[in-house]
Amino acid sequence: MTSETKFGTTDGTWFLLGDAVTQAAGRRGGYLARLRDAVASIYPDRRLELVAAGRAGDRVPELRDRLFAEVLPRDPAGVVVVVGVTDVWYASRGQATPIDEYRAALADIVRGCRERRVPVWLCTPMVVGERIGVANSFDEGLDRCADAVRQVAATEGAGLVDLRRRFRDELTRTNDRDRAHGLLTVDGVHPNDAGSRLIESAIREALGM
């Protein structure tokens, strides 16, 4: 199992692989900045580094290519793939990732890590729009991709961070006015402070921090 190694048991560099959400996550208040603060507090005697390997516009096939070209050559201690919403959101440009290609690229990511004995966790995509009472435009595609992430994690032996479920559960609890954004995101996609805290919490739990 690639996810047997828990965070903090060994020194090394962990990579957060993703799109624009991860690219900005190291800024003050971002989920990666929060994780770094937690690491410094919980593991003061460990030599642990968290690196954001995020690039705006990347879909899962691009994440796979960057994993092999940029991340695995650096001998990571672990990889967390923060799958954003670009694969679905780009349907508005006619560039949505076909679900079979999406699933195959995720499997390639897990297998590539497993071959190098690198623990890997897959995150489900979060939201495009925060409405609960009425479906958001991209809900169907996001649910399909989230199911694919869960399936690949189960069949390929990766860890799972179900961010979509966490976001939807929180919005079901708090979005009583059925707002399009503003509770967990600034624009329906990119996390605000509350969304960043939710992502950080979910990843911390999954890694056993």
Can you give the pLDDT at residue 115?
97
Q: Residues 95, 96, 98, 101: is their CA dihedral positive or negative? A: positive
> 123-154: per-residue pLDDT in tens?
999 999 999 988 899 999 999 999 999 999 99
> 42-57: per-residue pLDDT in tens?
999 999 999 999 999 9
> 152-172: per-residue pLDDT in tens?
999 999 999 999 999 999 999
What pTM, to 2 d.p., does this model score?
0.94
In order, the DSSP letters of the chain are -TT-SPTTSS-EEEEEEESHHHHTTTSTTSHHHHHHHHHHHH-TTS-EEEEEEE-TT--HHHHHHHIIIIIGGG--SEEEEE--SHHHHGGGGT-PPPHHHHHHHHHHHHHHHHHTT--EEEEPP--SS--SSS--TTHHHHHHHHHHHHHHHHHHT-EEE-HHHHHHHHHHHH-TT--SSSSSBSSSSSB-HHHHHHHHHHHHHHTT-
Which band of pLDDT confidence, cut at 50, 70 and 90, is reported for residue 1? Answer: very low
Is 121 within 8 Å of 81 (Cβ atoms)? yes
> 174-203: per-residue pLDDT in tens?
999 999 999 999 999 999 999 999 999 999
Is 67 within 8 Å of 109 (Cβ atoms)? yes
Type of residue at 1: M
